[in-house]
């Protein structure tokens, strides 16, 4: 959670004690804001950050609770750009290289910081929970090593988030409650084998909560039929948005379910591609879909499961303004 996200959460009345501050490059201002707000946990991501936070907490006369983010070397079955636990990337402290233990020792040497646990996050939009199992095994292994080296049993493990949701037919995510039971079982077994006390387990199911809760409405501007190789026809359906309000398709090759929203149609389904209005060939909202052949300018399309990583990552790309969400919704209604 970064500065603006923290500000929004606090403005919404979230108990700061339940907030965890994330980020690989937190600024001094962000850390100061977090300490002043009394956030419950700061997830440490670099040695430089450990020093910064200790300095800030010391000036404030406080002892800040922290978790060390551990890169556990797990291959998450997801897109390269949202897999976050392999060694060669920007997040966390590598377990395999010994940097994670070095970070733990750095924190333990800072009286301004209270180390309460370890954090691990293997990626996003994950359906296969085997990666969580491997991560849990390795994190508990580090807990055991910390007890051996420092006679200290840390009371918390945060296994991060990344629980997938259904964007299209064929996506088959597990229920968060079922995953929680599975993770609890794994941690309990690992701790029992290691002979250490069962820590408090935390997870971050953000997308699984908010992702399915919203749709994005677009107004159709133009419809352009294109004949492909083999004589197949595809309609390019251009809408009044695009990669500035949903970067995921261009960035991650994400896919979405889309439907005609303002009227019923009995027309034959036509292979279509929903595209934006930016001067980019990669400005695609939905790459391949089937929409009514009689779709026309002025129609409204609804793109499902846009509650996470869409409007929150919107921008003024190519100087197309990022509108307030309420204006976006009300202007699209027929």
Please report where in the chains the tokens 């149609």 appear, as a residue: 265
Distance CA 157, CA 152 (A): 14
Q: Is the Cα torsion angle 145, 146, 148, 154 positive or negative in sign?
A: negative
- Active-site option among 191, 279, 289, 310: 279
Pairwise CA distance, residues 235 & 225, whole Å: 4
Burial class (CB in 10 A: 0-12, 13-18, 19+), 158: buried
> Helix, strand or coil for residue 125?
coil
Q: Which two tokens stand for residue 113?
A: 């910081």
- Phi, psi for residue 116 in degrees, rounded to 5: -110, -10
Secondary structure of residue 120 in the 3-state scheme: coil
Active site residue 279: yes
- What are the two backbone dihedrals, phi and then psi, of residue 292, each rounded to the nearest 5 degrees? -55, 140
The three-state secondary structure class of 320 is: coil
DSSP code per residue over 241-263: --TTT--HHHHH-----EEE-SS
Active-site residues: which are they?
A: 279
């Amino acid at each position: 959670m970064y500065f603006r996200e923290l500000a929004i959460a606090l403005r919404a009345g979230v108990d700061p004690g339940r907030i965890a501050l994330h980020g690989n490059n937190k600024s001094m201002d962000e850390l100061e804001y977090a300490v002043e707000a009394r956030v419950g946990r700061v997830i440490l991501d670099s040695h430089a950050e450990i020093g910064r936070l200790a300095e800030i907490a010391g000036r404030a006369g406080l002892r800040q609770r922290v978790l060390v983010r551990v890169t556990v070397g797990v291959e998450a079955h997801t897109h390269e750009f949202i897999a976050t636990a392999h060694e060669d990337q920007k997040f966390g402290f590598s377990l395999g290289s010994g940097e994670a233990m070095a970070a733990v020792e750095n924190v333990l040497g800072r009286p301004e910081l209270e180390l309460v646990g370890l954090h691990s996050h293997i990626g996003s939009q994950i359906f296969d929970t085997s990666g969580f199992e491997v991560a849990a095994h390795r994190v508990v292994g580090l807990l055991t090593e910390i007890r051996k080296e420092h006679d200290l049993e840390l009371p918390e493990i945060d296994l991060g988030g990344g629980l997938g949701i259904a964007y299209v037919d064929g996506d088959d995510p597990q229920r968060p409650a079922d995953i929680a039971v599975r993770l609890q079982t794994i941690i309990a077994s690992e701790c029992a084998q290691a002979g250490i006390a069962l820590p408090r387990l935390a997870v971050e199911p953000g997308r699984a909560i908010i992702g399915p809760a919203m749709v994005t409405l677009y107004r159709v501007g133009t419809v352009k039929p294109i004949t492909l190789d083999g004589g197949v026809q595809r309609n390019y359906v251009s809408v009044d948005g695009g990669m500035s309000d949903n970067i995921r398709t261009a960035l991650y090759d994400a896919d979405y379910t889309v439907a005609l929203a303002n009227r019923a149609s009995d027309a034959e389904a036509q292979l279509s591609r929903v595209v934006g209005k930016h001067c980019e060939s990669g400005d695609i909202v939905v790459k391949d879909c089937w929409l009514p052949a009689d779709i026309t300018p002025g129609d409204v399309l609804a793109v499902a499961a846009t509650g996470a990583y869409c409007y929150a990552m919107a921008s003024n790309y190519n100087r197309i303004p990022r509108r307030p969400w309420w204006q976006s919704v009300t202007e699209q209604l027929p």
